[in-house]
Amino acid sequence: MKKSLPAKTRKPNELLRFQGPDDSIIKVLEHVSGVKKTVAKKILLAYPKGRGLPSATINSLVHLGATEKQAKAIHHAFKLQSLCDEACQAMADESLSGPNDVVRFLLAQIRSQEQESFGVVLLDKKKRPVETLFITKGGLASVEIHPRDAFREAVRLGGINAIILFHNHPGGSPEPSSDDIKLTRRFVEAGMTVGIPVLDHIIIARGGHTSFRAQGLIF
């Protein structure tokens, strides 16, 4: 099996798709709440394959060994997963033909995030979303982001014809920074090399959104 992106950068629903269901659920439970592996396994036994976890009560999770704080973290994480899945599924068969479509598709996944997050949407030949990958969280200037992380997944999945970059600006302004522009250029160049073009880079903020293509920053 080829190595995928680090588990800590993925949302719960992405872990479920990219790894074996039981192992992925255990890792999600450990990551989002800090429960011990033994407790995570007990929760998994009570909710086989994760079914029912989005509606699991805090009391039921405490009964299985989680602290109240851990139970709340699990409850909110899987509830968010359920909402994200419903919103994304509604658009799964629709083409992302412009910035507004991309923003609508991504809002449910990033609207609650207080940190700046960067990721890519992988598209098929009809510009329909195949997968959403969260590459990193935190300011883009504070971490090293490698285009290969995204394109490796695109090649592994197969049938990916293009990608769209995205990230959020929790502070409120959607205007791109110099770091945003430099990073986009790196992705565009890498995309040209592997034959998977970057169609756009969307910045989403409380004050609106910005499309690099609309601003002439991607040709």
On whether both 26 and 125 belong to a single domain, the answer is: no
On whether both 126 and 201 belong to a single domain, the answer is: yes
Nearest Cα to 165, choosing from 219, 210, 118, 131? 118
pLDDT (0 to 100) of residue 13: 46
On whether both 186 and 108 belong to a single domain, the answer is: yes
Residue type at 76 in one-letter notation: H
On whether both 200 and 99 belong to a single domain, the answer is: yes
Euclidean distance between CA atoms 181 and 119, whole angstroms: 15
Instruction: Output the six-digit token pair for 163.
Output: 């990608």
On whether both 83 and 100 belong to a single domain, the answer is: no
pLDDT for residue 22 is more than 80: no
Residue 178 in any domain: the answer is yes
The number of distinct structural domains making up the chain is 2
Domain range for 51 is: 7-89
Euclidean distance between CA atoms 71 and 159, whole angstroms: 39
Per-residue pLDDT reduced to its tens digit, 148-166: 888 988 888 888 999 999 9
On whether both 49 and 157 belong to a single domain, the answer is: no
pTM score, whole prediction:
0.60
Residue 192 in any domain: the answer is yes
Per-residue pLDDT reduced to its tens digit, 108-155: 667 656 677 888 999 988 888 888 888 876 655 545 788 988 898 888
